[in-house]
């Protein structure tokens, strides 16, 4: 599935999708510092049968608002 870019409050996030046996895995990367969250979407409830990509994008956009985007640590 093609990647997607989401912009929220002047911050850009690159989202990639990977098919897994149980559903989809999305990697949401904040472009300003490379912070990443991995979010899984199980097959079934919540998908628009005619637009699964749109459903995943909507789920990622909602997740961006709720995920803890702290400052990355440097080792």
pLDDT for the residue numbered 72 = 64
State in Å, rounded, how far the first CA of the chain is from the last one.
33
- Ranges of residues in the chain with a pLDDT under 50 are none
- CB-CB neighbours of 31 under 10 Å: 12
pLDDT for the residue numbered 36 = 95
Taking the complete model, does pTM exceed 0.75, yes or no? yes
pLDDT for the residue numbered 49 = 72
């Amino acid at each position: 599935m093609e990647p997607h870019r989401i912009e929220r409050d002047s911050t850009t996030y690159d989202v990639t999708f990977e098919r897994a046996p149980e559903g989809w895995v999305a990697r949401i990367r904040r472009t300003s510092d490379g912070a990443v969250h991995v979010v899984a979407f199980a097959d079934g409830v919540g998908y628009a049968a005619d637009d699964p990509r749109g459903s995943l994008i909507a789920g990622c956009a909602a997740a961006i608002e709720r995920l803890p985007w702290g400052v990355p640590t440097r080792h």
